[in-house]
Amino acid sequence: MISGAKMIVNEFFNNNIEVKFVRLTWVDFLGALRTRIITKKRWLDLANGSNHYSLALNCLIIPISTAPCVSPKALKLRNCDQIGKVYDCAASRRADMPNFKQLPRLKVLMGFEIEFVLLDDVFNLATSIDRQNLIIFEEIIAALEISRIDVYYFHTEIAETIRTISIRHGIRVSMTPNLYLTVCKMETDSFLAGILQKVGSLCAFDMPNLDSYYRRKEPLNIRDCPILAGKLGVGEARRQLGKYGITEPMRPKLEVSLDSLKEDKECETWFGSELFAEYVKVKDKEVEHFSGMTEEQRRQKFLVYF
């Protein structure tokens, strides 16, 4: 541990003498939050480099690793809402792979929009609990302030805090990450042009689940909605759309989006070949595993992870 980080760690634990345990948290390739609880002394040994924390092989099935382990990040220590415990956002690594292959260090503007949904004890949308919602949110905000996380932005570090507090009130929380990114300049036209040009490949990131492609099943009244193909004819509609470069339909399912992504060599260079390959492997395995489930089975499994 470098001297600056060591000073921060010493100051943190001196100001929080009640801390006895540390939660090591990291996000795997599936986007699932993983946690291990260790003692304060064990964490200090890890941070000083005198030891390392090994993981079970099933913690990193994809990518396959024979010696997975996590490294604590001294600057990521946060108080959590339970007395005597703190969070540490750790970095996972594989002993058989150089760091630069895992971290291409390519600067990409990224953001995550988290859909915050309160569910009742049977995983249905919570209704008629406005007063209870207010109590839950007040407690969540107080816990986030203790963790030094401003309430006007959200990321994966706060998900467990929100889930834990909501469960105390008998409410299950689903938090779904929706990724948006750009490697273009910040100008609006460049951003939109880049998205439209790569929309087929980007669907594999922005619509990453089988159920992302399901549409509303309720009947909709479209009597007053003019349909372009119906008015112009299919051939004329294609001709007019083609003038604007619109020659392909939206991807109807995840498998088709993945096929587009696999053929997109430019996207592969953006993400790095190793990260790109591992992401595709994970998604191919998800398609194989979840396509055999019913919609309700997938929903239940989704709630377990998110």
pTM of the model: 0.45
Report the alpha-carbon distance of residue 302 to residue 61 in Å, rounded. 18
Q: Give me the CATH number covering residue 45.
A: 3.10.20.70
In a domain, 137, yes or no: yes
Q: Mind giving me the DSSP string for 145-158?
A: HHTT--TT---GGG
How many other CB atoms are there within 10 angstroms of residue 132's CB atom?
Answer: 15
Final residue of a domain: which of 101, 127, 156?
101
- N-to-C CA span, the chain: 33
Are 206 and 264 in the same domain?
Answer: yes
Are 11 and 90 in the same domain?
Answer: yes
pLDDT at 270: 82
pLDDT at 259: 93
pLDDT at 71: 67
Select from 166, 177, 209, 173 the least CA-distant residue to 32: 177
Which mean pLDDT values do the consecutive 10-residue runs of the chain (306 residues) have?
Answer: 65 80 72 74 75 63 58 67 53 50 54 62 53 70 73 53 74 65 54 76 86 62 50 70 75 90 89 84 88 86 74
Residue 218: domain span: 201-305
Are 95 and 114 in the same domain?
Answer: no
Are 130 and 153 in the same domain?
Answer: yes
pLDDT at 199: 85
Final residue of a domain: which of 101, 126, 148?
101
Give the chain's domain count: 3
The answer to whether residues 204 and 283 touch, using CB atoms and an 8 Å cutoff, is yes
